[in-house]
Amino acid sequence: GEDVEQSLFLSVREGDSSVINCTYTDSSSTYLYWYKQEPGAGLQLLTYIFSNMDMKQDQRLTVLLNKKDKHLSLRIADTQTGDSAIYFCAEKTSYDKVIFGPGTSLSVIP
């Protein structure tokens, strides 16, 4: 079946790097996404990676994809208090459906 898993909580100190991990099951997924949801707000697309890429970097964000292990990670360098939010990993399946993980709640300690 289709499933996306993430750890539910992560706590880091301000200035450290955060690494949020995600695993998925659909080997035919085409795109993988990271979304950010701040309290009371909608989803914001942070970054995405096409399934034939290994890595994508965008300013403080680095996405790593291990397609063999179906593992995706999001690294946030120099984490700030404004990065506190819930981060959703998602995969787009070959049927054009996007499957979301449960979200990882990131808490940044000043």
Chain residues in the site for other proteins (CB under 8 A): 30-31, 35, 41-45, 48, 50, 88, 90, 92, 95-103
Minimum Å gap between C-beta 69 and other proteins is: 21
In the bound state with other proteins, the residue whose beta carbon lies nearer, of 82 and 95, is: 95
Q: Which is nearer to other proteins, 7 or 80 (CB)?
A: 7
Q: Which is nearer to other proteins, 13 or 97 (CB)?
A: 97
**Contacts (Cβ under 8 Å, ≥6 apart) of 58:** 47
Using CB atoms within 10 Å of the CB of residue 89, give its burial: 0 to 12 exposed, 13 to 18 middle, 19+ buried.
buried
* Cβ at position 42, least distance to other proteins in Å: 4
Q: Encoding tokens for residue 24? A: 């998925």
36 vs 8, 20, 40, 69, 104, CA distance in Å? 14, 12, 12, 24, 10
Least distance from C-beta 84 to other proteins, angstroms? 17
